[in-house]
Structure 1
Amino acid sequence: MTTMNTRYKITRHDQQGNPTLSLEECQSFFAKLSDFEYHDSFGASQDGVHMKIKGHFFMWQVEDVQVPFRFYEGELYVAVSHPAVLDKTKEVARSLEANYIEG
């Protein structure tokens, strides 16, 4: 069972070990999936404090929770807090011919 907030990255590397996923590739990939939406920021609120992070987020919803897949420096990051999120992470990685790695 996956524990709360285990972070995974979806990544693919060239022979020199550099990440090879591009923002354009990810935008094209996720645009074809009806269950994802692109956002250029992600907001979260807790105890009356609201935080907004700018970036490239591909949002997926499970039950009543929005799950951000964040593109950053050639990789996608996702915090897994539900078994369905891990399943979706594996599915995305397979489709992008990439690996998913905890950490």
Structure 2
Amino acid sequence: MNTRMNPRYKITRHDQEGNPTLSLQECQNFFATKSDFVYRDFYSVTQDGVNMKINGHFFMWQYEGQEIPFRFYESELYVAAAHRAVMDKTKEVARGLEANYIEG
């Protein structure tokens, strides 16, 4: 069994006091212009026959037959970088939102 976790990144932008400033509306507007993203208000995953549904704000990146979730949570976007293409897309999204990406 592989227990190695994929690194998680967050896309964030802060005000002078250090508070995150990305808004859900801003992210929805941004991703609406991207044909390879779809918005969902939940994320569903099945593993070992167990289905789990997480409610929230997810921008699902369509990549090579897979869906990679970018989750908006508390004014930041989170994504697990499973492979190089996800990291490249994370950088692209951060640039588009005039934000930074950091591991964490």
| TM-score class normalised by the smaller sequence | over 0.9
Query: How far apart in 2 are the matches of 1:93 and 1:41?
Result: 22
Query: How far apart in 1 are the matches of 2:66 and 2:34?
Result: 18
| Residue in structure 1 matched with residue 66 of structure 2 by the alignment | 65
Letter in 2 for 1:57: F
Mapping of residues 1-103 of structure 1, within 5 Å: 5-103=6-104
- Deviating above 4 A after TM superposition, structure 1's stretches of 4 or more consecutive aligned residues are none
Query: How far apart in 2 are the matches of 1:94 and 1:28?
Result: 15
Query: How far apart in 2 are the matches of 1:87 and 1:46?
Result: 27
Letter in 2 for 1:76: L
Query: Could you say what secondary structure the match of 1:34 adopts?
Result: coil
Q: TM-score, normalised by structure 2?
A: 0.94
The CA deviation at 1:4 is 5.4
What per-residue deviation string (whole Å, max 9, x for no partner) do you get for residues 28-80 of structure 1? Answer: 00001111000000000011100000000000022122100000000000000
Gaps of 5+ in 2: none
Letter in 1 for 2:58: F
Query: Could you say what secondary structure the match of 1:91 adopts?
Result: helix
CA contact (8 A) 1:4 1:82 kept: no
Query: Could you say what secondary structure the match of 2:15 adopts?
Result: coil
What percent identity do the matched residue pairs reach? 73
Count residues with an aligned counterpart.
Answer: 101
Letter in 1 for 2:15: D
Query: How far apart in 1 are the matches of 2:83 and 2:92?
Result: 15
